[in-house]
Structure 1
């Protein structure tokens, strides 16, 4: 193949590559966000789900909590969040699905209340923990 032919093939190939990149639309893969806010004084909480941004999820959760001392305990994108509690402690967790979020929440609670770890090994009744809420974005795994 002569130089001019090789050059023409190279230019045509670059043009096709550029055209395929330029012509490609954006995928509709926007993340969905969630958050859980909690009031330590009132022991109430608020949650948000499927918000278009982290900031909106946090604002919605704080608004839903509705108490002045509410703080966001967990936020996530494209997955689930869980809130678990005992008589004297609460914990949250996030994960790609319901099970992963609950595992993370029980593991977090076990740092302050060791029997909570039993919930992760199939002994939830003896762990003394309760599940308050598990929420998942529409695109959770």
Structure 2
């Protein structure tokens, strides 16, 4: 094999080695978790994000919520969580890979109990009485 042929093989091998090293780092990246807890009796909520485990994210949201009836409404990894409610007293939460997906899914859940909430997905949130209360994302969300 000529020198240029050997050099070409060496460059290709180096490229494959570098690609496998740098590509592997992304697959082993640590997941980040979040949660939103809500107290129906006190109509309050708290959120947490960027925790290394679901348990830590949930515990932090519950602790910050501070009431005995606080419940985790949604938890997620590597994305966003959204909390919505309407003026009729319905509340819903959902998660998604980004802010808009989390909000859309939360409004979809709310509309299962209150069909008029679906109007919020079409830009008529004032007519439906639906309010996006909180959207929280982990720092590695899309």
Per the normalisation by structure 1, the TM-score is 0.80
Runs of 4+ in 1 over 4 A off after TM superposition: none
In the alignment, structure 1 segments of 5+ residues that lack a partner are 1-19
Using the alignment, how far apart are the partners of 1:103 and 1:92 within structure 2?
10
1:65 corresponds to: 65
Instruction: Give the match's secondary structure for 1:62.
Output: helix
Which digits, 9 at most, give the CA deviation of each residue in 1:72-119, with x for residues without a partner? 000000000000011211100100000000001000000111111011
In the alignment, structure 2 segments of 5+ residues that lack a partner are 1-16
1:39 corresponds to: 39
2:119 corresponds to: 118
> Rg: which structure is higher?
1
Which digits, 9 at most, give the CA deviation of each residue in 1:19-59, with x for residues without a partner? x7xxx696251110000001111111111010111000000
User: In the alignment, does 2:51 pair up with 1:51?
Assistant: yes
Aligned residues: 121
- 5 Å matches for 1:1-141? 27=25, 28-87=28-87, 88-141=89-142
Using the alignment, how far apart are the partners of 2:115 and 2:64 within structure 1?
30
Per the normalisation by structure 2, the TM-score is 0.80
